[in-house]
Structure 1
Amino acid sequence: MSILSKLFGSKPKAAQVDAPAGKGTSVDHKGFKITPQPLKAEGGYRIAGVIEKDIDGVTKTHNMVRADTLSDLDDAKQATLQKAQVFIDQMGDRIFD
């Protein structure tokens, strides 16, 4: 990094921020499959994951991303599961509308 970049506060490369940090173990909740996939973000990991459900023989998918960031990857995976469960409880199949 050059001295000018340091002085003027250049930002990290886009590939390093909001990049997938790895999948967690999928969990079933009320017929939905939740797969945590936190994103690497500045200062930690952004809560993110995939919610899927088979409806009339077709697999519907919703990519969930939240603004919350946590410093620990395992904490981000656990928080993703919790947020997705609340989202499913509130929205049901309307998630895919």
Structure 2
Amino acid sequence: MKEKLEQLFYFGLGTALMAKEKIDQAGESAKGMKEENERKAREFFDQAVAKGSEERGQLKESVRELLKEVMDELGLATKADLDALREELAKQRQGQP
């Protein structure tokens, strides 16, 4: 009987230690998965930021072209047109006494 109780005690102790090892292994595995998920999340974030930045440039250029078309359709003067007009007026004023 004493031998059976001793075996039962060692069985319980061994089972507890094996369970602890499995839990430790699972924890290490989870830690590795967490680090991998964080790396993937950072990578996705960086890619999204780069794509957004690229799209921003394309969108800005599209808006610029659209505004230029609208200004041409409406016959509005551009900054270059106004600068040329100012130069012409300045030249005319210099020629007059």
Q: Which has the larger radius of gyration?
A: 2
Structure with a larger share of its residues in helix: 2
Same-fold call, TM > 0.5?
no
Q: TM-score range by the shorter chain?
A: under 0.3
TM-score, length-normalised on structure 2?
A: 0.22
Normalized per residue, the structure richer in strand is: 1
- Considering Cα pairs closer than 8 Å and 6+ residues apart, tell me whether 1 or 2 has the greater RCO: 1
**Normalized against structure 1, the TM-score is what?**
0.22
